[in-house]
Structure 1
Amino acid sequence: MTKKRTRKERWRQIPDFGWYDVSSLGRIRSWKPDRPSQRKARTKAMIMRTRMDRDGYPRITLQDDKGKKRVVRIHILVARAFLGPAKGRLVLHKKNKRSKAHLENLEYGSYEDNNDDKYISGTHQMGEKNSRAEVTKKQAKQIYRLKGKMTQTEIADRYDISRQAVSDIHRGITWAEMTGA
């Protein structure tokens, strides 16, 4: 018979969101009164429902201490409450499970750490999957084939991109997997 490992859920108040607590398992509870005319907190907290954003992170809409509604990702709330202030660092998911905002799955790290994790896990958005891509696979191949036949400025004008983007394709900095550069 195997023992099911249970995690003890701990709760902390969310910094800058006085009516709410966050748990070490990524759950949110509200002490906020039902009606604005009520000035006292609830006697029993209400567990709130979270939703997934388009990137696969759980999120929730909360009212901050200044009365402004804000949409926030749960992993950020868990990290702030249990790991302290970010101090210029990012919240990273140790097991690359965006949907898991559990404390044991979170840590602070640098942008470089985050990018390294993306490459290792295969979640880095390359090529057309990258929302900031200026050209398609087909265009990248065409641009690479024009190397030496036209100036980079002429190619940039033809494809309505920067000369630097053309240079990056020619040197294999971008789209190397498509062009073989």
Structure 2
Amino acid sequence: MNEKWKTITKFPDYDVSDQGRIRSWRKPGRKPNQKRKKPKFLKPWLDKDGYCQVTLCKNKNQTSKKVHRLVLETFVKSCPKGYWTCHNNGIKTDNRLINLRWDTPKNNHADKIKHGTTNRGSQHGLSKLTEKQVLKIKKDPRVQRLIAADYNVIRQTISLIKTQKTWTWLK
């Protein structure tokens, strides 16, 4: 399979491939019109959410860009309003064109649930309860105020659990 390369429209000194790789023709510290004889491949790093990013320069200004967005914007088109970049297989570092698409936030969230990559339950950074505690709460016959006091949460949290509005996947 041949890797296809296209110049990044907003950053003409850089190319992106359909395999999610970025290369630079820019010679750092030189006149802007000087190019390398051979391109330099950029090494992406992971941002706080686990997505690949690279730093691109234009007119002496550096900008960090997510690789998956560069691939889609270069090979498909710019992002339609209200759409997000989605990874078909749920792997945030797989930036091949065949694995990417523009889609709605709702469909992206459904994908995250399907792939098991959503932060729900005790994996969510703001969760005060574990799955084990929630299962105990669901079975606890006492009044919600007392249960809430035992787990150091507000009564409404207990109400949402008991009425199946949150933690719905736990039975």
Pair in the same fold by TM > 0.5:
yes
User: Which residue matches 2:69?
Assistant: 76
CA offsets 1:112-143 (integer angstroms, 9 cap, x no match): 21122222222233211122424333553465
The residue type equivalent to 1:75 in the other structure is H
CA distance in 2, matches of 1:24, 1:148: 58
**How many residues of Structure 1 are paired with residues of Structure 2 in the alignment?**
169
Please tell me whether residue 167 in structure 1 is matched to residue 159 in structure 2: yes
User: Which residue matches 1:28?
Assistant: 22
The residue type equivalent to 1:105 in the other structure is N
The residue type equivalent to 2:94 in the other structure is K
> Which structure has more strand as a fraction of its residues?
2
CA distance in 1, matches of 2:36, 2:43: 19
Percent identity, aligned pairs only, is 29
Contact 2:144 2:159 in 1 (8 A): no
Cα distance change, pair 147–69 in 1 and its aligned pair in 2 (3 A): farther
Cα distance change, pair 165–61 in 1 and its aligned pair in 2 (3 A): farther
Structure 2 gap segments, 5+ residues each: none
User: Which residue matches 1:106?
Assistant: 100
TM-score normalized by the length of structure 2: 0.78
Cα distance change, pair 145–12 in 1 and its aligned pair in 2 (3 A): same
CA distance in 1, matches of 2:168, 2:18: 42
SS of alignment partner, residue 31 of structure 1 = strand
Q: Per-residue deviation at 1:55? A: 4.2
Q: 2:148 aligns with which of 149, 155, 174?
A: 155
Structure 1 range deviating more: 49-58 or 20-29: 49-58
Cα distance change, pair 26–141 in 1 and its aligned pair in 2 (3 A): same
